Every structure is written in C-alpha cells, then in structure tokens.
C-alpha cells in the first residue's frame, strides 16, 4: 500500500516537477566526467552556481584526453570558441576579501572572461552578515541539471575506491590531499527546467540581466557511471535566509523533519556536520519511541577547517551526548569511513534516505546554517506505490554502505536480512573486517572539549539559526534551550 506523499509545496519544498531521468553520481571522479560530457553537448546555455570554484583544476579524471583542455578555466574558453551561440554564466558566493577569486589561479581567468562576450561572471554578496551562498547547481540548456554537494574546486576529485596512495589525487601544484567522499545528482525534463528558473532568480537577484528560457534541446547521455532511478517526481527544496525585504525560506529544514517523522524502520544520512538543534530534537523524540526507527549517520572524523572544528565538531559532541541519554533502545549511531590503512575519508556528501521510501540529496548539511542561514538547494523523491523505485532506493543505500565497509551491496543486503537491523548488520560486517585486520567504518567517540568550545557550541556563536539569530543576545541563544534536556524521571506511583 502506497504511503501518502510528504511533499508539500510552500511548506517543505518549492515545487514538484517530473524528471524524465534521475540519477545519482557518487564521488567527484564520476561527477566531473558527467558534467564535462554534458557541457560539451551544450548548445545555448550553461548556468554554473557554486560556493567555491578553482579554474586550475582538471574537470574530469586528471588524465582525461578527449580533445578539449583539461583545466576547467581553459575548458570553458574552449567551449565558447567552439560553439559561438553558447552563453556561459557563472555565479559564485562573494565573501568580500575571502572570495575564491582572490586566488592567483583564478584571477587570470576572471580577466580573460571579462573580455569574452559569451562568458559572464557574477560574485554574489547579497546575503546577511555571516551567511553564504552554498548551493551547487549546474544547468545546461534548461534540459540537463545537476544538484548536490560537489564544488568544482580544489581537493574534491577522488574515486570510489578512496585509495590510501592515489598518485592522481593531487592539486594542480602537485601537492597531494586526502580521500574525499561526495555525492551529486543529475536529472532531465521539467525538473531541470525548474532548476534553470532557480538559477535565473539567483542571477537577476545578484544584478545580472534577465535571461530567456531555452527552447527544448535534445539531451545526450554521458558515459560516466550513474545510479539511475528512472522517471520520478522530484521535489525541489530550498533554504534562504531573511534579507532586506526577502522573507526566510526553510523548506529543507521542514523536509528533513518530515522525513524523520515519516520513518518506520531506519533513517540513513551522510553529512559533513551534525549540529542542527531542530533535527536533533526530532531524532530524540523518535528515539524515545519503543518501536521507533534506527538512525545511522555517516560523518567525517573531524571538520576540514579550524572554524568547523571549533563550531561544528563541538556542537556535534554536545548533541550526541544528549541524544545518547535519550537512546535507551540503542538505535542511534554515528560512523566515520576510513581507508584500508586507517586514513580518515572526508565526508562532504549531503544525503538522507528514510526506509526505502524517501531520498534527498543536495547542498545542505545537518547544521543550523544549512537549515536557516545559508542559501541551499536539495532535491528529493519518494517511492510511493512503486516497488521498483523502493527497491532502487534500498539498493542505493546498500551500495553506499558497501563502499564504506569495503564489501558488496549483496553482502550488505544479506547482512540486513540476517540481522533484521541496519545497525546490527553494520556491526556484524565491522566485526568481520576486524577479524581480517581491516576497518572501514569507525564508531564516533565523543572528544574532550575545553570550556570555551562548550560555550561556543552551546550558544551557537558560529552556527546561528538565521539572520536574526546573529544579533540575538547571548541569553536568548542556546543549543539546548527548551530542547534535548535529559528526560525527567517520574516519581514512584505518579
């Protein structure tokens, strides 16, 4: 029997549109190859909306050889020369002096593109103090769209093997970087057209001229590996903070909470952070239910920057401490993926899967900023009455877990059926890995925190819940205000 839809336009999504084909690309080797092929097929328009950008990186495998320049900066110039009718628009977050365009690798291209009539670049600084434009969207000819967590910038490229020593995983200057896990989506049809409209809204909001929609252009497939879901109804959800005369949009937060509340068996999520009060509160309520769902969260061991380590890692520790007091049935786990030699794999993916019914992927992390303070965009689907789509959702989750546990999707599926629990299945496979001296998922351990770290996290100094919260007095802030407190014991006989 089909479950009722949880999608509600103007509440937990912007709109619902049909995707003629929806697929997910896992890790940047496949994503870069796919966007390269789609951009090479572009006839009229390319919209590039991102948080970070580096023109010097290779768009594709570091050894790609398809007749076009490897570096993305030269690649875009080559596309413009090859296709005279093509217009390329790049919209990036501008955090004033911290803008990515201040890098030496970007400045020469900014100047070259300034004199190219086919390429336009805008740096968008229209956001509240401390906020960011975090969306990662790419739309080609209003016919093919990408939405996910992968920026076209440094340190993102990796394969699904996440090898300890991959000679191709290097910056343009030759410096190596660590393994990186990420996810994006690709879709066609009306949903792609809608994302093109969203890109245009962002473009004109940042001061760009109105851009007419592209008439229907035939789409072409690329050879990059895709995890395909076929034709689906796709919900597009956003976060946008209150700014000047614009009201706040919190569709992603509502959708996240609705997906958790809809769960019957298991919620599986991958996120760079776990620091949202609203999400943690919802999880706590579900953990208190005797027959509630399990929660499995894949996180990086630590954030990849000092600010994240102070703000997000500390908030995660504080929330996990509280959730463990609510988790009397043992249904909440956080794991970190590591390589065969024990090197941490950085998790940058933004994904949530509820049972085998709902799937969401995009740019939003599980933190206050993504739910209320930054510009974000996610897409989501639900299986409804389709057993085939339900099977694909479960298979996709198992495929991701197989990557993290160094096994096969079939082994994941068999372990779940044998154990009757996702957490028990993971623990069984971890034990088998330990027997062969291989550990590929490591349980989260609460780190020691200083008093100042606790204070910063508890008062949400670096992860506010919105533009208004930035200016709230300290006494009105708080990671635990009215929420996630230790359950009160009932008096005997009461």
Residues 55-85: pLDDT tens digits?
999 999 999 999 999 999 999 999 999 999 9
The sign one gets for the Cα dihedral 122, 123, 126, 127 is: positive
Domains of the chain, by residue range, sit at 20-233, 236-476
Q: Which residue has the higher pLDDT, 492 or 34?
A: 34
Beta strands at 376-382 and 358-362: parallel, antiparallel or unpaired: antiparallel
Cα–Cα distance, 463 to 368 (Å, whole number): 6
Calculate the CA 128 to chain-centre distance.
Answer: 22
**Predicted confidence band of residue 475 (pLDDT cuts 50, 70, 90):** very low
4: left (phi over 0), alpha (psi -120 to 50) or beta: beta
Percentage above 90 pLDDT, the chain: 71
Residues 151 and 363: beta-carbon distance below 8 Å = no
450: left (phi over 0), alpha (psi -120 to 50) or beta: beta
pLDDT of residue 248: 95
Calculate the CA 48 to chain-centre distance.
Answer: 17
Q: Could you tell me which residues are beta bridge partners of residue 266? A: 294
pLDDT of residue 107: 82
406: left (phi over 0), alpha (psi -120 to 50) or beta: left
Q: Which of 130-139, 247-256, 471-480 has the lowest mean pLDDT?
A: 471-480
Average pLDDT for 35-45: 95
pTM over 0.85? The answer is yes
**Predicted confidence band of residue 448 (pLDDT cuts 50, 70, 90):** confident
pLDDT of residue 457: 44
In the numeric block, the tokens 């996120």 are attached to 271
pLDDT of residue 465: 57
Asked, colleague to colleague, whether 20-233 and 236-476 share their fold, the answer is yes
Residues 378 and 361: beta-carbon distance below 8 Å = yes
Report H helices in 115-266: 190-205, 251-262
Class of domain 20-233: alpha beta
- Cα distances (angstroms) measured from residue 213 to each of 40, 320, 369: 19, 46, 31
Residues 6+ apart with CB under 8 A from 399: 26, 227, 409
pLDDT of residue 382: 97
- Cα distances (angstroms) measured from residue 259 to each of 80, 274, 462: 42, 16, 27
pLDDT of residue 322: 84
Residues 7 and 236: beta-carbon distance below 8 Å = no
At 267-326, the pLDDT tens digits run 999 999 999 989 999 999 999 999 999 999 999 999 887 666 777 888 888 888 888 888
Q: What's the alpha-carbon Rg for the chain, to the nearest Å?
A: 22
Q: Which of 23-27, 262-266, 330-334, 369-373 has the lowest mean pLDDT?
A: 369-373
Percentage above 70 pLDDT, the chain: 87
Q: What is the mean pLDDT of the chain?
A: 88
Cα–Cα distance, 269 to 299 (Å, whole number): 9
Q: Which helix (H) or strand (E) holds 425?
A: helix 422-435
Q: Is the pLDDT of residue 487 over 60?
A: no
Q: Is the pLDDT of residue 328 over 50?
A: yes
Among 277, 284, 234, 158, residue whose Cα is nearest residue 389: 234
What dotted CATH number matches 236-476? 3.30.870.10
Beta strands at 15-26 and 45-50: parallel, antiparallel or unpaired: unpaired
Residues 370 and 406: beta-carbon distance below 8 Å = no
At 226-272, the pLDDT tens digits run 899 999 999 999 999 999 999 999 999 999 999 999 999 999 999 99
Among 428, 448, 453, 239, residue whose Cα is nearest residue 350: 239
Average pLDDT for 435-462: 64
């Amino acid at each position: 029997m089909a479950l009722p839809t949880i999608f509600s336009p103007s509440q937990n999504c912007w709109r619902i549109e049909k995707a003629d084909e929806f697929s997910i690309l896992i890790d940047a080797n496949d994503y870069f190859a796919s966007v390269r092929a789609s951009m090479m097929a572009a006839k009229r328009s390319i919209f590039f909306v991102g948080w970070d950008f580096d023109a010097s990186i290779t768009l594709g495998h570091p050894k790609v050889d398809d007749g076009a320049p490897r570096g993305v900066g030269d690649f875009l110039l080559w596309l413009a020369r090859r296709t005279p009718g093509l217009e390329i628009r790049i919209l990036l977050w501008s955090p004033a002096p911290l803008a990515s365009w201040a890098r030496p690798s970007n400045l020469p291209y900014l100047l070259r593109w300034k004199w190219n009539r086919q390429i336009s670049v805008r740096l968008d600084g229209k956001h509240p103090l401390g906020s960011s434009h975090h969306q990662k969207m790419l739309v080609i000819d209003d016919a093919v769209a990408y939405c996910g967590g992968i920026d076209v910038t440094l340190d993102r490229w990796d394969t699904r093997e996440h090898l300890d020593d991959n000679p191709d995983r290097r910056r343009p200057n030759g410096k190596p970087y660590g393994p990186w896990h990420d996810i994006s989506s690709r879709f066609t049809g009306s949903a792609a057209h809608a994302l093109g409209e969203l890109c245009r809204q962002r473009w004109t909001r940042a001061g760009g001229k109105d851009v007419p929609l592209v008439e229907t252009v035939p789409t072409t497939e690329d050879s990059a590996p895709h995890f395909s879901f076929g034709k689906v109804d796709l919900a597009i959800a956003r976060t946008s903070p209150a700014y000047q005369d614009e009201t706040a949009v919190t569709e992603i937060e509502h959708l996240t909470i609705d997906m958790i509340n809809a769960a019957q068996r298991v919620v599986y999520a991958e996120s760079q952070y776990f620091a949202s009060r609203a999400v943690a509160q919802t999880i706590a309520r579900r953990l208190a239910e005797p027959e509630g769902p399990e929660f499995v969260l894949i996180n990086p061991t630590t954030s990849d920057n000092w600010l994240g380590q102070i703000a997000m890692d500390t908030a995660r520790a504080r929330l996990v401490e509280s959730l463990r007091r609510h988790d009397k049935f043992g249904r909440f786990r956080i794991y970190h993926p590591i390589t065969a030699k024990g090197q941490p794999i950085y998790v940058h993916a933004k994904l949530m899967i509820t049972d085998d019914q709902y799937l969401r992927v995009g740019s939003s992390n599980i933190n206050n900023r993504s739910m209320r303070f930054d510009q974000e965009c996610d897409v989501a689907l639900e299986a409804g009455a389709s057993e085939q789509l339900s099977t694909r959702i479960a298979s996709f989750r198992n495929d991701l877990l197989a990557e993290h546990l160094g096994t096969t999707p079939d082994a994941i599926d068999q372990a779940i059926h044998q154990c009757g629990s996702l957490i028990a299945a993971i623990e069984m496979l971890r034990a088998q890995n330990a027997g062969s001296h291989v550990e590929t998922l490591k349980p989260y351990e609460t780190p020691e925190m200083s008093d100042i770290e606790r204070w910063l996290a508890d008062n949400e100094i670096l992860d506010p819940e919105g533009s208004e919260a930035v200016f709230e007095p300290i006494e009105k802030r708080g990671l635990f205000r009215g929420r996630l407190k230790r359950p009160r014991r009932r008096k005997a006989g009461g």
